């Protein structure tokens, strides 16, 4: 199992209008921090990649090729301004956007694109649920088309009901993956959203054959694993289920950091302690 860390400083820099070179320098410092802590990969945001001009993207791609860790995954896939569901959904615009996303992600060696995007996939009030389902299915078919021939895999991220009105549980998302039968579309499980939806870890055993990525965080505050004393036990319970299924893919820490340099090592220490606690049971 490989542990990684989601990075957001680049996105925050974009929001405040920082120059791309300044943001890139900050991103590289964060990657160094994650590497020094002992993680195996990092996870970026699609939104930050798509905000770059072609020239800026080339600069970023070159710089990241020398970074000490691979960019295994990217989240924040679809902006709210490009709705997947509703009367304003534009299939042609979504396909053109996804073609550019996959091209840029593949150029960075990204292997997982995370389909969360709660606002983009939520139906407006009064909109037909059947039509919303059909629009999401069509979007995932587009994702299948655009990722074929690349090393990129799509993973559906179930989100708590406060963030989306559809695809809220691992079980629900697993049914979608199985019903659509798309070879490039798989499943992500996020422990924070699972806890919010009161979904037990046991469902991961039932859906293990579909899982291709995991997000973890402190289950109540969405802080780093290790924020609360109970986090070691929670991570141990998660790892017990994952290891019993033979899961050996990525596990990303996705949370709110207040002191990145201090808290990133604590997050990996929590996961390591959980592994040790699990090993001592056998």
Share of the chain above pLDDT 90, in %: 92
Rounded mean pLDDT, 229-258: 97
Kindly tell me if the per-residue pLDDT of 138 is higher than 90. yes
- CA 207 to chain CA centroid, Å, is 18
User: Would you say residue 122 lies in a domain?
Assistant: yes
User: Would you say residue 85 lies in a domain?
Assistant: yes
Tokens 């791309």 correspond to 20
Helix axes 91-107, 129-147, angle to 10 degrees: 40
User: Would you say residue 219 lies in a domain?
Assistant: no
SS3 content of the chain, % helix, strand, coil (to 5): 50, 15, 35
The CA-based dihedral angle spanning residues 201, 277, 231, 158, taken in that order and rounded to the nearest 10 degrees:
-30
Q: What is the pLDDT of residues 71-105, one digit of tens each?
A: 999 999 999 999 999 999 999 999 999 999 999 99
Rounded mean pLDDT, 166-184: 98
What would the two tokens of residue 269 be?
């220490």
Kindly tell me if the per-residue pLDDT of 17 is higher than 80. no
User: Would you say residue 195 lies in a domain?
Assistant: yes
Rounded mean pLDDT, 227-255: 97
User: Would you say residue 176 lies in a domain?
Assistant: yes
For residue 138, what are the domain limits? 2-213+249-255
Q: 2-11, 31-40, 270-279 — which is least confidently predicted?
A: 2-11
User: Would you say residue 278 lies in a domain?
Assistant: no
Closest by CA to 217, choosing from 202, 203, 230, is: 230
Share of the chain above pLDDT 70, in %: 96
Helix axes 260-281, 20-37, angle to 10 degrees: 30
**Residues β-bridged to residue 189:** 214
Q: 12-21, 23-32, 142-151, 170-179 — which is least confidently predicted?
A: 12-21
In this prediction, residue 119 has a pLDDT band, given cuts at 50, 70 and 90, of: very high
Rounded mean pLDDT, 166-193: 98
Domain count, the chain: 1
The whole-chain average pLDDT of the chain stands at 95
Kindly tell me if the per-residue pLDDT of 15 is higher than 70. no
Rounded mean pLDDT, 116-130: 96
Rounded mean pLDDT, 95-124: 97
- What does 22-57 look like in DSSP terms, one character per residue? HHHHHHHHHHHHHHHHT-SEEEEEHHHHHTS-HHHH
Q: What is the pLDDT of residues 49-74, one digit of tens each?
A: 999 999 999 999 999 999 999 999 99
Q: What is the pLDDT of residues 19-33, one digit of tens each?
A: 888 889 999 999 999
Rounded mean pLDDT, 198-204: 98
In this prediction, residue 10 has a pLDDT band, given cuts at 50, 70 and 90, of: low
Kindly tell me if the per-residue pLDDT of 156 is higher than 60. yes
User: Would you say residue 19 lies in a domain?
Assistant: yes
User: Would you say residue 266 lies in a domain?
Assistant: no
b/e code 204-222 from CB counts within 10 Å (16+ = b) = beebbebbbbbbbbbbeeb
CATH code, 76 = 3.20.20.150
In this prediction, residue 172 has a pLDDT band, given cuts at 50, 70 and 90, of: very high
Kindly tell me if the per-residue pLDDT of 11 is higher than 80. no
Helix (H) or strand (E) holding 139: helix 129-147
Kindly tell me if the per-residue pLDDT of 158 is higher than 60. yes
pLDDT at 16: 58
pTM here is: 0.96
């Amino acid at each position: 199992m490989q542990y990684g860390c989601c990075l957001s400083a680049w996105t925050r820099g974009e929001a405040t209008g920082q120059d791309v070179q300044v943001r890139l320098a900050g991103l590289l410092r964060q990657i160094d921090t994650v590497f020094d802590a002992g993680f195996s990969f990092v996870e970026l945001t699609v939104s930050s990649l798509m905000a770059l001009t072609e020239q800026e993207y080339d600069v970023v791609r070159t710089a990241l090729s020398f970074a000490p860790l691979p960019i295994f995954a990217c989240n924040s896939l679809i902006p709210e301004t490009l709705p997947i569901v509703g009367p304003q959904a534009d299939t042609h615009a979504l396909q053109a956007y996804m073609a550019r996303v996959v091209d840029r992600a593949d150029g960075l060696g990204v292997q997982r694109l995370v389909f969360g995007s709660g606002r983009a996939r939520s139906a407006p009030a009064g909109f037909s649920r059947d039509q919303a389902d059909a629009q999401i299915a069509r979007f995932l078919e587009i994702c299948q088309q655009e990722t074929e021939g690349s090393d990129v895999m799509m993973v559906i991220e179930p989100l708590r009901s406060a963030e989306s009105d559809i695809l809220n549980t691992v079980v629900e998302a697993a049914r979608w993956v199985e019903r659509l039968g798309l070879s490039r579309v798989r499943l992500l499980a996020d422990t924070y959203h699972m806890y919010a939806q009161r979904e037990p870890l046991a469902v991961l055993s039932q859906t293990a054959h579909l899982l291709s990525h995991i997000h973890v965080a402190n289950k109540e505050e969405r802080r780093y694993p290790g924020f609360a004393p109970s986090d070691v036990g929670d991570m141990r319970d998660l790892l017990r289920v994952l290891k019993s299924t033979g899961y050996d893919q990525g596990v990303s820490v996705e949370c709110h950091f207040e002191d990145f340099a201090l808290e990133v090592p604590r997050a990996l220490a929590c996961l390591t302690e959980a592994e040790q606690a699990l090993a001592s049971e056998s």
